[in-house]
Chains A and B, each alone.
Chain A
Amino acid sequence: MTAVREATRLLGHELATRLRTGELSAREITLAHLEVAERQNHALNAWLVIEREKSLDEADAADARLAAARADGPDALDALHPLLGLPVAVKDLVSVAGGQCTSGSRIIDGYVAPYDAHVTERLRDAGAVILGKTNMDEFAMGSSNEYSAYGPVSNPWDLDTVPGGSSGGSAAAVAAYHAPFGIGTDTGGSIRQPAALSGIVGLKPTYGRVSRYGIVAFASSLDQIGPLTRDARDAAALLHAVAGRDERDSTSAPVPVPDDLLRLPASDDEAAAWLEGKRLGLPREYFVEGMEPGVEARIREAVRALEGAGATIEDVSLPHTDYGLATYYIVVPAEASANLARYDGVRYGRSVRLPGADFIADYLATRGDGFGPEVKRRIMLGTYALSAGYYDAFYLKAQKVRTLIKRDFDEVFGSGIDALVAPTSPSVAFRFGARTADPVAMYLSDACTLPANMAGIAGVSLPCGLSNGLPVGLQFIGPPWSELELLRFSRGYEAITAAAEWRRLEPAQLTQADDATGPTPAERAARLAAA
């Protein structure tokens, strides 16, 4: 059993190798991950549903494909997708036919998706094992996972802290070895920020890179789907599986997905050498006031390490960064207010019917009861911003500022900078309740990530050490369609820090997470609130 249990510590590409050599079967790998996920879900609450039977069926199908390929010879084995037979934690806003899709909300409770999202189809094509659906902030609105209708998620590094959000469940699950792969979505930082706070890799692709078909919409012009993994190579493999043009999403771009995503260097020397001569921009606006000194220290060390590996570091300015947050909180709620209008209790999900009332009263009751406070706040903000007489001053103006933010990036990348290097989050994981009382404090969690969403460009966060024992995230931001380059930077950074002490550390409270009799995240949050 130890050997199998150790399987959960392996990276995706390491598991893929063992599957091909026959050292491990997909069923063994799936069982090992199921065992950890089921045991720790009491303490972490990372999963809203764990699909034991379905995932074992998928694992068996993967084993059958492996066996057939093995019989056909090495070429057939090589042709198999690197994700074949490997567990994936899928955020509960991705439609998986026959399963729930709550988007962290009570209002879609009971809804069973009748169709697969594009991402789900691609995972199935690759032969991946969908282990279950993960917890998230309601409709992806939040940066701590505390706005989930199904309770908060604990960060395995410190169970009294949040894993970040909104993809907090997928981040915690990947960090705690429940799955080597996680699917998240990022509208303002919802992949990168939880990746940073949970000590893993998270990539937000260029807008249009991954089809949004079947993903519960939050803010349609910013939402992107991306990987959460424990290293750059796994992130690249998962992106490769799900990216590409899909006719069903008119905003998905007909841009080829580079197969080199599957060939990131295994050798540290080769990966480090790639950094030589690359030009990295250090945007001064991202070193925001109120940034934790420990975070800034880790980022500066990382920058020095990159410089030491032969990259040139240049100070750059993105002058409209300061307007990003205000602009974001007009555009995003505006789109969300329309996207969430469909949850009216008429066709699916929660429905409150008041005897003798008209349908408007039923709508008010259904939505009043089904949505949480943060969602209501954003619907109100967005409705206001779009109202007659306010549209020009808010929404239209915000769209113009958005153009300026995008132009800042265009100019920097146009000047020959290959990528920007910046902090992902100004702080490490914070305690439950620390920011829920002050929405603006929560919104500031995304100050360094949301500009990339506003501009529609790519960004990746990866671990760069600890501050006060908690992970710090380093962010690379690149021009549109630069995912491969960003992952090469990430892989290069992994290579030059391969010997670092912090790389060998596991999340500090995994042992406590094993305790199925201890407090749940909700109980921890309540205890902290009372203190």
Chain B
Amino acid sequence: MTTAGAARPAGAALERYEAVIGIEVHCQLRTESKMFCSCSTAYDGARPNSHVCPVCLGLPGALPVMNRRAVELVLATGAAIGASTPDATRWDRKNYFYPDLPKGYQISQYDLPLAAAGTLTFDTSEGPFTVRITRAHLEEDTAKLVHAEGPAGERISLVDFNRSGVPLMEVVSEPDVRTAEQARRYAEELQLLLRTIGASDADMEHGQLRVEANVSLRRRGTEAFGTRVEVKNMNSFRSVEHAVAFEIERQAAILDGGESLRMETRGWSDERGETYHMRSKETSDDYRYFPEPDLPPLRVDAAWLASIRGELPELPAAHRTRYRDALGLSAYDAAVLVADADAGRLFEATLAAAPGLEAKPVANWVTGDYLRIRNAAAGPVRVDPAELAALVRLVADGSLNRTSARQVLEAHAQSGEGVEAIVGRLGLRQISDTAALGAIVEDVLAANPAAVADVRAGKAQAIGFLVGQVMKATRGQANATVAQAAIRERLDAGERA
């Protein structure tokens, strides 16, 4: 992952200023039906306005009915971030006019969110970092505006209500983030958490996870918050990092020039690599929240909450810790295996296929060569866990060297052919037997007296040459480590003799 635009290194401004960043994430929850009606949420690719009903169109007389599953997913998220949940909460109407909001109000939660005061901890290049999460609440998504051209070439807006009423969870962080990298990592970790607990598919490209960053700067050593700018329209984690880095530099340049910032919402343009003004926020909006009279208050009883907690899978942080502490994996391997569900599955299945197999080399093969092969492949790649286990064994017992093993894995991933069969067919089995290598070593030593003399004279690199000669003589099948040991032993024996 590259860091923010080489042209604008984020570090420069941060020497003088401290960035204070709060992050708001909206994510569509993974439910079958919408938040307050029975329309299907599987509208991706569907004809516009084909997943609609009187409720999500805001027709006269329509009434909302709460989707209990959506509530459970927010409660699960709350449990996963260690948040607290009130015994009783309710729905509130957030009033504002916009063509994508069919009722003229959004059913949301104002002062009694389903989850409050949690935390999210993740790794960064500077070590682990914890962000406090203010709240997570449930609301309904808006419709989608599509801008088009009318018959006379005029600019028109069309409304697609398929998205209207999809359950949306808003997760608001405290202004704890200080760098662009932390902003990206926070969003990535939240995505991983939501996917792990099954709350959301959280795909940014599909708009299932929308990240907004509130960025302000203050001079190092000062406490007061600076003027806050809201940055949105970031469609990838990369964009999040780039946009925040850009915004820090932009604000620093303005402040350096002695000017002051204005409250505004800015969008991020990937093409131009910069944020741009969207609208001013001189006054704070008055949404005239009041309790939603169409829905009764929502009681969250202890048993319900307990059953949701009980069903939570192992969370990413605990998962990584277990990999590091119990299996001895590196922090990198643990992070990759937890973040990449497919890699994680292969890792677990390989260990399961070969009890007693050491975890660390399996992890290395999965996060290294397997991911390289998978990511480079045009189509899906299948590696059989039992075959991978066999491969790891062959390397461990010296029957296969790394280079050959890579070749075998690639061949297996491509054709599905068994590892043993590939090794046999290509004649890759390594000669690790000292006895078998002994005669060859003798020949090599006899043929290269100068190199032997160099080794004896203490020139360490000369032994590499002799090993290379052994490899050459065996067409690469010799186990280099065994060959070196054999050479060393033979020469030592010769000296003593």
Interface residues of A (CB under 8 A from B): 93-95, 101, 103, 108, 111, 113-115, 117, 212-217, 219-221, 247-251, 334-335, 337-338, 340-342, 344, 346-348, 359-360, 363, 383, 386-388, 391, 395
Contact across chains for B54 and A341 when beta carbons are under 8 A apart: no
Contact across chains for A386 and B288 when beta carbons are under 8 A apart: yes
Choice from B65, B104, B159, B295 contacting A341 with Cβ under 8 Å: B104
Contact across chains for A347 and B293 when beta carbons are under 8 A apart: no
Contact across chains for B59 and A348 when beta carbons are under 8 A apart: yes
* 153-183 of chain B: CB within 8 A of chain A: 157, 159
* 350-369 of chain B: CB within 8 A of chain A: none
Given A213-B61, A249-B63, A347-B58, A360 contacting B97 (CB threshold 8 A): yes
Query: Which residues does chain A contribute within 8 Å of B99, judged by CB atoms?
Result: 344, 346, 359
Which residue of chain B lies nearest to A389 when distances are taken between CB atoms in the complex?
A: B286
B105 interfacial by beta-carbon distance below 8 Å? yes
Which residue of chain A lies nearest to B93 when distances are taken between CB atoms in the complex?
A: A338
Which residue of chain B lies nearest to A217 when distances are taken between CB atoms in the complex?
A: B61
Query: Which residues does chain B contribute within 8 Å of A101, judged by CB atoms?
Result: 60-61
Contact across chains for B97 and A335 when beta carbons are under 8 A apart: no
Given A95-B61, A215-B61, A341-B95, A251 contacting B54 (CB threshold 8 A): no
Query: Which residues does chain A contribute within 8 Å of B95, judged by CB atoms?
Result: 337-338, 341, 386
Contact across chains for A247 and B104 when beta carbons are under 8 A apart: no
CA distance A113 to B54 in the complex (A): 9
Contact across chains for B97 and A344 when beta carbons are under 8 A apart: yes
CA distance A397 to B73 in the complex (A): 34
Query: Which residues does chain B contribute within 8 Å of A250, judged by CB atoms?
Result: 63-66, 294-296
Across the A-B interface, give the 7 residue pairs with the lowest CB-CB distance, nearest first: A341-B104, A386-B288, A220-B293, A221-B293, A214-B61, A216-B60, A342-B58
Which residue of chain A lies nearest to B60 when distances are taken between CB atoms in the complex?
A: A216
Q: Apart from A248-B63, A341-B97, A386-B95, what are 6 other A-B pairs with CB-CB below 8 Å?
A: A114-B59, A342-B58, A342-B102, A344-B97, A347-B59, A386-B290
Query: Which residues does chain B contribute within 8 Å of A346, judged by CB atoms?
Result: 99, 102, 159
Query: Which residues does chain B contribute within 8 Å of A212, judged by CB atoms?
Result: 61, 63
CA distance A213 to B61 in the complex (A): 6
Query: Which residues does chain A contribute within 8 Å of B75, judged by CB atoms?
Result: none
Contact across chains for B60 and A95 when beta carbons are under 8 A apart: yes
Query: Which residues does chain B contribute within 8 Å of A93, judged by CB atoms?
Result: 60-61
Query: Which residues does chain A contribute within 8 Å of B61, judged by CB atoms?
Result: 93-95, 101, 113, 117, 212-217
Q: In the complex, how many angstroms separate the beta carbon of B122 from the nearest chain A beta carbon? A: 36
Contact across chains for A347 and B102 when beta carbons are under 8 A apart: yes
CA distance A335 to B95 in the complex (A): 11
Contact across chains for B60 and A388 when beta carbons are under 8 A apart: no
Query: Which residues does chain A contribute within 8 Å of B289, judged by CB atoms?
Result: 386, 391
Choice from B60, B98, B104, B159 contacting A338 with Cβ under 8 Å: B104
Contact across chains for A342 and B63 when beta carbons are under 8 A apart: no
Query: Which residues does chain A contribute within 8 Å of B195, judged by CB atoms?
Result: none
8 A-B residue pairs with CB within 8 Å:
A111-B60, A250-B295, A251-B294, A341-B97, A342-B104, A344-B97, A344-B104, A347-B159
Choice from A108, A115, A249, A388 contacting B54 with Cβ under 8 Å: A115
Q: In the complex, how many angstroms separate the beta carbon of A83 from the nearest chain B beta carbon? A: 22
Query: Which residues does chain A contribute within 8 Å of B54, judged by CB atoms?
Result: 114-115, 214
CA distance A499 to B163 in the complex (A): 63
Which residue of chain B lies nearest to A119 when distances are taken between CB atoms in the complex?
A: B61
CA distance A115 to B59 in the complex (A): 10
Contact across chains for A338 and B290 when beta carbons are under 8 A apart: yes
Interface secondary structure of B, over-half rule? loop
Contact across chains for B286 and A387 when beta carbons are under 8 A apart: yes
CA distance A219 to B294 in the complex (A): 10
B103 interfacial by beta-carbon distance below 8 Å? yes
Contact across chains for A395 and B65 when beta carbons are under 8 A apart: no
B29 interfacial by beta-carbon distance below 8 Å? no
Choice from A94, A335, A360, A391 contacting B293 with Cβ under 8 Å: A335
Contact across chains for B294 and A341 when beta carbons are under 8 A apart: no
Contact across chains for A342 and B103 when beta carbons are under 8 A apart: yes
Most buried by A among B58, B64, B295: B58
CA distance A213 to B37 in the complex (A): 12
Query: Which residues does chain B contribute within 8 Å of A117, judged by CB atoms?
Result: 61
B80 interfacial by beta-carbon distance below 8 Å? no
B57 interfacial by beta-carbon distance below 8 Å? yes
Q: In the complex, how many angstroms separate the beta carbon of B29 from the nearest chain A beta carbon? A: 19
Query: Which residues does chain A contribute within 8 Å of B98, judged by CB atoms?
Result: 359
Given A341-B105, A386-B95, A347 contacting B57 (CB threshold 8 A): yes
CA distance A214 to B102 in the complex (A): 16
Query: Which residues does chain B contribute within 8 Å of A386, judged by CB atoms?
Result: 95, 288-290
Query: Which residues does chain B contribute within 8 Å of A337, judged by CB atoms?
Result: 95, 288
CA distance A346 to B49 in the complex (A): 14
Query: Which residues does chain A contribute within 8 Å of B293, judged by CB atoms?
Result: 219-221, 251, 335
Query: Which residues does chain B contribute within 8 Å of A114, judged by CB atoms?
Result: 54, 59
Which residue of chain A lies nearest to B100 when distances are taken between CB atoms in the complex?
A: A346
CA distance A108 to B59 in the complex (A): 10
Query: Which residues does chain A contribute within 8 Å of B288, judged by CB atoms?
Result: 337-338, 383, 386-388, 391
Query: Which residues does chain B contribute within 8 Å of A94, judged by CB atoms?
Result: 61
Query: Which residues does chain A contribute within 8 Å of B93, judged by CB atoms?
Result: 338
Query: Which residues does chain A contribute within 8 Å of B58, judged by CB atoms?
Result: 342, 347
CA distance A113 to B64 in the complex (A): 18
Which residue of chain B lies nearest to A346 when distances are taken between CB atoms in the complex?
A: B99
* 68-90 of chain B: CB within 8 A of chain A: none
Which residue of chain A lies nearest to B95 when distances are taken between CB atoms in the complex?
A: A338
Most buried by A among B58, B103, B105, B293: B293
CA distance A517 to B289 in the complex (A): 52
CA distance A468 to B432 in the complex (A): 120
Q: In the complex, how many angstroms separate the beta carbon of B268 from the nearest chain A beta carbon? A: 24
CA distance A340 to B93 in the complex (A): 13
Query: Which residues does chain A contribute within 8 Å of B159, judged by CB atoms?
Result: 346-347
Which residue of chain A lies nearest to B104 when distances are taken between CB atoms in the complex?
A: A341
Q: In the complex, how many angstroms separate the beta carbon of A210 from the nearest chain B beta carbon? A: 13
Query: Which residues does chain B contribute within 8 Å of A359, judged by CB atoms?
Result: 98-99, 157
CA distance A115 to B52 in the complex (A): 13
* 270-309 of chain B: CB within 8 A of chain A: 286, 288-290, 293-296
CA distance A334 to B99 in the complex (A): 22
CA distance A115 to B62 in the complex (A): 10
Query: Which residues does chain B contribute within 8 Å of A342, judged by CB atoms?
Result: 58, 60, 102-104
Query: Which residues does chain A contribute within 8 Å of B294, judged by CB atoms?
Result: 217, 220, 249-251
Query: Which residues does chain A contribute within 8 Å of B59, judged by CB atoms?
Result: 113-115, 347-348
Query: Which residues does chain A contribute within 8 Å of B65, judged by CB atoms?
Result: 247-248, 250
CA distance A103 to B286 in the complex (A): 29
Which residue of chain B lies nearest to A211 when distances are taken between CB atoms in the complex?
A: B63
Contact across chains for B97 and A363 when beta carbons are under 8 A apart: yes
Q: In the complex, how many angstroms separate the beta carbon of B41 from the nearest chain A beta carbon? A: 19
Most buried by B among A115, A217, A250, A251: A250
Which residue of chain A lies nearest to B61 when distances are taken between CB atoms in the complex?
A: A214
Which residue of chain A lies nearest to B54 when distances are taken between CB atoms in the complex?
A: A115
Q: In the complex, how many angstroms separate the beta carbon of A516 from the nearest chain B beta carbon? A: 32
Which residue of chain A lies nearest to B66 when distances are taken between CB atoms in the complex?
A: A250
Which residue of chain B lies nearest to A356 when distances are taken between CB atoms in the complex?
A: B154
CA distance A214 to B104 in the complex (A): 18
Query: Which residues does chain B contribute within 8 Å of A113, judged by CB atoms?
Result: 59-61
Which residue of chain A lies nearest to B295 when distances are taken between CB atoms in the complex?
A: A250
Q: In the complex, how many angstroms separate the beta carbon of A219 from the nearest chain B beta carbon? A: 8
CA distance A141 to B288 in the complex (A): 22
Q: In the complex, how many angstroms separate the beta carbon of B144 from the nearest chain A beta carbon? A: 14
Q: In the complex, how many angstroms separate the beta carbon of B162 from the nearest chain A beta carbon? A: 14
Q: In the complex, how many angstroms separate the beta carbon of B55 from the nearest chain A beta carbon? A: 8
Contact across chains for B104 and A388 when beta carbons are under 8 A apart: no
Which residue of chain B lies nearest to A105 when distances are taken between CB atoms in the complex?
A: B60
CA distance A336 to B286 in the complex (A): 17
Query: Which residues does chain A contribute within 8 Å of B290, judged by CB atoms?
Result: 334-335, 338, 386, 391, 395
Given A114-B54, A386-B290, A251 contacting B296 (CB threshold 8 A): yes
Contact across chains for B64 and A338 when beta carbons are under 8 A apart: no
Q: In the complex, how many angstroms separate the beta carbon of A65 from the nearest chain B beta carbon? A: 28
Which residue of chain B lies nearest to A390 when distances are taken between CB atoms in the complex?
A: B288
Q: In the complex, how many angstroms separate the beta carbon of A27 from the nearest chain B beta carbon? A: 30
